[in-house]
A and B are shown apart, each in its own frame.
Chain A
Amino acid sequence: MAKAKMLTGCRAAAEGAKAAEVEVICSYPIRPYTAIMMELAKMVANGELNAEFVHGEGEHAQLSVVLGACAAGARAYTGSSGVGVTYAMELYSPMAGGRYPVQMTIADRTLDPPGDFGSEHTDAMCTRDNGWLLGWACSPQEVYDNTLIAYRVGEDHRVMLPQMVCQDGYFISHIPDKVTLGEMSQVKEFLPPYRPIGPLSLTHPVSHGPQIRPDQGAPMDAMRAQTFLAVPKVIEEATADFNRIFGRNYDPFVEQYKLADAEIAFFIMGAHSNTCRTAVDRLRKQGVKAGMARLRWVRPWPTHQLATALGHVKAIGVVETSTSYGGAMRGGNLIHELRASLYDLDERPLVTSFMGGLGGETIWPADFDNMAKVLTQAVKEKKVRNYVQWLGM
């Protein structure tokens, strides 16, 4: 097996795309994801990767170019960060509705204002209701791995959906960590070539995307909803294959860290889970039965897996790194869906949330200690005092 190298998340994403032999790439500069495109540009220039590298004139164009490329049968790749993700908003629904399994890699960045390079998940979270597969990595290794897993799932004929592969800006995108790249034989075994369904062709004329009658809308939407019901099985298969072929150990949906006997738990995704794991270890040493559940996929949302993994916990603190101003829980996004996932349990855990890491701020071990205090208190009082608290304020 290949030796581990020290790579940033950006480099790892580019290596993943190269391993997937992407064929049409469309770029536009915005930090911090830019470094992914800079790496790919070099690979194409050096002849290491046989691909068309198209300089998009904006993110809207990036998505449009890869949509066209995918419709014409190419494996296509693009990416963005922050306001770049939202500038392309028009294209997310046609991409998913047209069942074009392109991949968009995202290094999260805070949305304006204020101008800020730090990671916040709101950029990609804004797109979550448009029918894409959406998930977060917590290390450069996982970025590489998710790039391959997402293509395999998205291009599966039971799925045929675009994928957003996210990593936190800076924390993952720009800090090198150990990454073991796959051998070409492993990649070939895991990821078959893209087999488009009804691509634009000269020999078999097709029409992509005609209008419908209103009564044709509901059945089409229902078909997509049905597809999403089928996705979890495909993710499970792909993850199992990936683990076997590459010698990894991923839970398909939720990383469960010291959860089995936990009384309090952090629910988290992305980079800050690394600090969280250390914090859990420390709390354990102090006699606090803490654990962590780290979400790998937001779409499809693993409702039942979460209920199973977290049902026995007494109090859960959702660490939110995205905003949902005016939402039901007055803070972030994840708590809404987590609470909904637990609602049907006979005995429900208490659930509160913490706004942290906004603007790219670090969440420190001490912050987790404070969150643990709030959760322990909730257990004692058998209720949560607040839906949300803002860390450090």
Chain B
Amino acid sequence: MYDFPDSRGHFGPYGGIFVGETLMAAIEELRSVYERYRNDPEFIAEFERDLKHFVGRPSPIYHARRWSDHLGGAQILLKREDLNHTGAHKVNNTIGQAMLARRMGKKRVIAETGAGQHGVATATVAARYGLECVVYMGAEDVKRQAPNVFRMKLLGATVVPVESGSKTLKDAMNEAMRDWVTNVESTFYIIGTVAGPHPYPMIVRDFQSVIGREAKSQMMEAFGRQPDRLVACVGGGSNAIGLFYPYIEDESVRMTGVEAAGDGIATGRHAAPLCAGKPGVLHGNRSYLVQDENGQISDTHSISAGLDYPGVGPEHAWLKDTGRADYAAVTDNEALDAFHALCRFEGIIPALESSHALAHAAKIAPTMDRDKLILVNLSGRGDKDINTVAQLAGIQL
């Protein structure tokens, strides 16, 4: 049986708790609180109620028929996380963590964000529960995801642009950690992906697993069987693990995570730790990292802010090493092509992050028979990205 992580948060050699001593007590507190509530019927019922009435779950599975026909191979099915309230899978997790924060009596929540989707999802639950909310966002991302910055502000959050390092997601995470260590008694850190120190990778996975659980029953209902393949983009890896986790023991389903190859792996300008990095320690856990030979973390590049991160959740590192999942990478241009294809063939504007998963599906579908099924996690909608896409086309909005 697949039973990870172990009690100290390890997925094989990966994961663990790598933080400064000041945070150890807070992490232990979170671990024990989560242990207490994870199987608590009342906690679960509240979580499910919120997913249904506030998020709008279950999210449908949609058969992208016209695009599949055009590609001329396997059928592409989309798990529509883009239809969630706030427009991405991120909210599944922020609801769960905010419920923990409330039970711990924390009045203030903080978050890091790249694309802004996790920031928006955190600001949303904070508004709903009346919690103070501070979101750290790389100054570079503040520029390229301006609509989400404004959404967070509308929701009452304070957005702090982070000017250090590469001014992207990893620097936002550094700054959020610094805030946490300073305000550890009053503050709950809502991490947005399956990264950070244990128990975060497990907590976020568990909350996001609703995606895969729903998919399993929806597939049976609509198609009478499970898909042949799962495809999801991987930044930190939360939407991917949310889809994969309930399928881990179902070995007939191949699972593929798709990283951002940016300008191309060979150029060095990418954000693909699993495909082109090596193991190391960053942001509280051991996993694959994009780093140089001296162990310094490299600047990453992706057109999509949500994938522009040098690390990846430790469970993905383990799934890669054990071969249970495989990982591919697609370039900015390939992702953009898929972005446009989904707009034109299906009337759906996907997030640039999700477009990476779509691009990989578009590559493999033609190599497969027409009766094969590929389930792609459409992790978010692309409204936030229209400025980026317009700019690339030389259009001023």
A and B bound?
no
What is A's interface to B at a CB cutoff of 8 Å? Answer: none
What is B's interface to A at a CB cutoff of 8 Å? Answer: none
